[in-house]
Amino acid sequence: MSGPAKGVALSGVAKWYGKVPAVRGLDLEVAPGEMVSLLGPSGCGKTTTLRMVAGLEAPDAGEIRIGGTRANEVPPWRRNIGMVFQSYALFPHKSVAENIAYGLVMRRLPRAEVAARVADAMRQVQLQGLDERVPSQLSGGQRQRVALARALVTRPDVLLFDEPLAALDRKLRERMQVEIRQLQRAVGITTIFVTHDQDEALTLSDRIVVMEGGRIVQSGTPGEIYERPGSHFVSDFIGMMNALRATVTGRAEDGGLRVRLEPGGRELAVAGPAGMAAGDGVELMLRPEKVRLNPPAGAGLIHVGGTVAHVVYLGAVTYLHVGTPDGLVIAMLPNAGGDAAAPRQGDAVTLGWRAADMVCFAPPRDA
């Protein structure tokens, strides 16, 4: 960074490709030093948003500000932004050190300073000793580290990542996620990270911005997005969920909703969104890890009896699919007791969960 960290602000930003709306009226503020992920399915406008911040695409409407200054008319090479892509985009015939130095050489920095900064960046991404290799002599993870060093070495105000880890295998991806997060924190650089991998977004972000169809549908900390999703779409995208159907029967005294589970007919009080009225259909979302197996009676839980329909053993956890009068409920059980401790298909079980762990929202449009 050339000075104190700079934030990024988008207001009313829109982009059309011919008749295709790629981004529709985006409002997004990234605070100085914050790491924000844009999360969403293929085609929701993540890359287009990133490219507009970088200046590689011009918005059709709205304003982009970097460090409080309007950037719409600023060409990409004057925005002081570092970018890392899925394809490493390295020069194949240049060495690692030459690849990393490229942006500094273009800026005509003195040779000694270039060498010092390159050595620094290589240390930051743990590439020491590989200066002379060319990209074809590196592993995928090492190539991505070169791309990262190349983005960092110019001391950008903002770092943009577009699915940089998508091509790496799972173990390496997880390690790089932690490394990128630590590095981002250490350097304190404002960062926007595009991904369609929910675990990656949860691992990396101060804040997750979920996009759908060119719009932001929810923005919050990883905990808020996971625990309190505002819609079926967000909930389903960020993790596994049980979706119980219910009908609103009225308002509870504390302002919450009274609902009746369908088809079981059980009546419950839940916290619900405003604007719901008696007769409305709603969905009650419950994460599988909130469901307990055979809990003691009277623990303030909702208890539901059922029969195990299916058991999925995953080593660290087991998923129990349980048929209940209120619909199918999946419970995630830690395997503290080992394989033998889990119930078998056909067993009768009782499940329990806290009413407060259910999140109420409108059912998905297509249901």
Residue 196's binding partner, choosing from ligand ATP, Mg ion, none, with beta-carbon cut-off 5 to 8 A by kind?
A: ligand ATP
- Beta carbon nearer to Mg ion, 47 or 99: 47
Residue 104: its H or E element: helix 96-106
Query: How distant, in Å, are the alpha carbons of 69, 128, 195, 342 from that of 211?
Result: 25, 38, 11, 38
Residues 6+ positions from 338 with CB-CB distance below 8 Å:
none
Using CB under 6 A, which of 44, 149, 151, 301 touches ligand ATP? Answer: 44
Residue 205's binding partner, choosing from ligand ATP, Mg ion, none, with beta-carbon cut-off 5 to 8 A by kind?
A: none
Residues 190-219 as x/- pattern, contact with ligand ATP by CB under 6 A: ------x-----------------------
Q: Is 83 in the site for ligand ATP (CB under 6 A)?
A: no
Handedness of CA 305, 306, 307, 311 (dihedral sign): negative
Q: Is 128 helix (H, G, I), strand (E, B) or coil?
A: coil
Least Å distance between CB 251 and ligand ATP?
A: 39
d(CA 260, CA 299): 22
Q: Is 268 in the site for ligand ATP (CB under 6 A)?
A: no
User: Residue 267: which region, alpha, beta or left (left: phi > 0; alpha: psi -120 to 50)?
Assistant: beta
Using CB under 6 A, which of 17, 77, 91, 313 touches ligand ATP? Answer: 17
Query: How distant, in Å, are the alpha carbons of 101, 110, 113 from that of 157?
Result: 18, 21, 19
Q: Is 46 in the site for ligand ATP (CB under 6 A)?
A: yes
Q: With contact defined as beta carbons under 8 Å apart, do 218 and 229 qualify?
A: yes
Least Å distance between CB 77 and ligand ATP?
A: 21
CB atoms within 10 A of CB 356: 10
The stretch near ligand ATP (CB under 6 A) out of 44-52, 254-262, 291-299, 306-314 is 44-52
Report which of 100, 136, 137 is spatially closest to residue 121, judged by C-alpha positions.
100
Question: Total binding residues for Mg ion by CB under 5 A?
Answer: 1
The stretch near Mg ion (CB under 5 A) out of 15-23, 40-48, 128-136, 141-149 is 40-48
Least Å distance between CB 217 and ligand ATP?
A: 13
Beta strand 317-324 with 302-313 is: antiparallel
Report which of 26, 58, 53, 10 is spatially closest to residue 215, judged by C-alpha positions.
26
Q: Is 288 in the site for ligand ATP (CB under 6 A)?
A: no
Count of H helices and E strands in the chain?
8, 20
Using CB under 6 A, which of 7, 25, 32, 43 touches ligand ATP? Answer: 43
Query: How distant, in Å, are the alpha carbons of 158, 202, 274 from that of 190?
Result: 5, 17, 35
Least Å distance between CB 226 and Mg ion?
A: 23
Residue 43's binding partner, choosing from ligand ATP, Mg ion, none, with beta-carbon cut-off 5 to 8 A by kind?
A: ligand ATP
The stretch near Mg ion (CB under 5 A) out of 1-9, 42-50, 138-146, 295-303 is 42-50
Q: Is 47 in the site for Mg ion (CB under 5 A)?
A: yes
Using CB under 6 A, which of 45, 55, 164, 230 touches ligand ATP? Answer: 45
Report which of 148, 144, 143, 156 is spatially closest to residue 53, judged by C-alpha positions.
156
Amino acid identity at 317: V
Least Å distance between CB 46 and Mg ion?
A: 5
The stretch near ligand ATP (CB under 6 A) out of 40-48, 61-69, 283-291, 309-317 is 40-48
Of all residues in the shown chain, the one whose CB is closest to Mg ion is 47
Least Å distance between CB 45 and ligand ATP?
A: 4
Q: Give residues in contact with ligand ATP (CB under 6 A).
A: 17, 20, 22, 40, 42-48, 196
Q: Give residues in contact with Mg ion (CB under 5 A).
A: 47
